[in-house]
Amino acid sequence: VLLKSDVRLSKFLSKVLRHKPEMIGLELDQNGWVDVEQLLMACRNHGVPMDRTVLERIVATNEKRRFAFSEDGQKIRANQGHSIVVDLNLKPVQPPERLYHGTAERFLHSIRQKGLVKGKRHHVHLSGDPDTARKVGSRHGKPVILVVLAKEMHEEGYVFFRSANGVWLTDHVPVRYLKER
Ligand code: HQG
């Protein structure tokens, strides 16, 4: 069962583990990890009490698998979506023929000129299927799904990564590899 309070805590964790660890006095290591006990204590000290059981439930039930524990369970990090610099040690992988990017109609004008740019995130985020892309785009307004000619990009030297939770990532998608459906 997904508790409403869990969603709230998950959003809070995204903020801390991707964007603003200093908000609760934390620092991530260079690979984005933070000690679980330190995290729980910092959350408690900043009015967001959470114990290990709740944290484990949030990690396990998160619909996008946004977070991961280290193998020994001592550390936790966000799987993707950071705006602060961390090295997730992602390995380049071969993408499928097509990937999808969900955006909002109001961004199309600029995307037609510059292609897809990563903004303040580490990478441009791409989806493996159009349904997921539509959901991503809806967050910003009236959704538009763009097709990315990923295989062709890859053949021409562009590097793709896949995060632990299945999000496709690349540095930039030039206009010539984008198709409006
Ligand atoms: C747009 C969520 C103007 C881009 C999702 C997007 C994803 C441009 C917005 C993850 C542009 C950036 C990331 C250009 C791109 N001109 N706008 N040249 N190029 N854009 O939120 O991809 O729930 O930083 O289309 O599921 O929407 O957080 O990126 O609309 O995986 O786990 O600029 O966030 O995951 O917005 O979403 P975002 P995104 P979580």
Sheet holding 124-126, edge to edge: 124-126, 168-170, 160-162
**Interval between CA 169 and ligand 1 midpoint (Å):** 11
**Interval between CA 166 and ligand 1 midpoint (Å):** 16
pLDDT of 154: 98
Answer for the pair 105, 141: CB distance below 8 angstroms, yes or no. yes
**pTM score:** 0.89
pLDDT of 1: 52
pLDDT of 47: 93
CA-CA distances (angstroms) from residue 121 to 56, 131, 138, 154? 26, 22, 18, 21
pLDDT of 181: 84
Q: First vs last Cα of the chain: how many Å apart?
A: 36
Residue 144: strand pairing partners: 103
Provide the residue-wise pLDDT of the chain in tens; the chain has 181 residues: 556 789 999 999 999 999 999 999 999 999 999 999 999 999 999 999 999 999 999 999 999 999 999 999 999 999 999 999 999 999 999 999 999 999 999 999 999 999 999 998 999 999 999 999 999 999 999 999 999 999 999 999 999 999 999 999 999 999 999 999 8
CA-CA distances (angstroms) from residue 107 to 101, 110, 137, 150? 12, 6, 10, 21
Q: Indicate the top mutation candidate among 12, 62, 125 to test ligand 1's pocket, ranked by most ligand atoms within 8 A of CB.
A: 125
DSSP track, 62-99: -TT--EEE-TTSSEEEESS--SS-----PPP----S-E
Count CB-CB contacts under 10 A for residue 10: 19
- As a whole number of angstroms, the distance between CA 113 and CA 109 comes to 7
User: Using a 6 Å cutoff on CB, does residue 167 contact ligand 1?
Assistant: yes
User: Using a 6 Å cutoff on CB, does residue 23 contact ligand 1?
Assistant: no
Count CB-CB contacts under 10 A for residue 121: 15
- As a whole number of angstroms, the distance between CA 126 and CA 29 comes to 26
The interface pTM score, or ipTM, of the predicted complex is 0.95
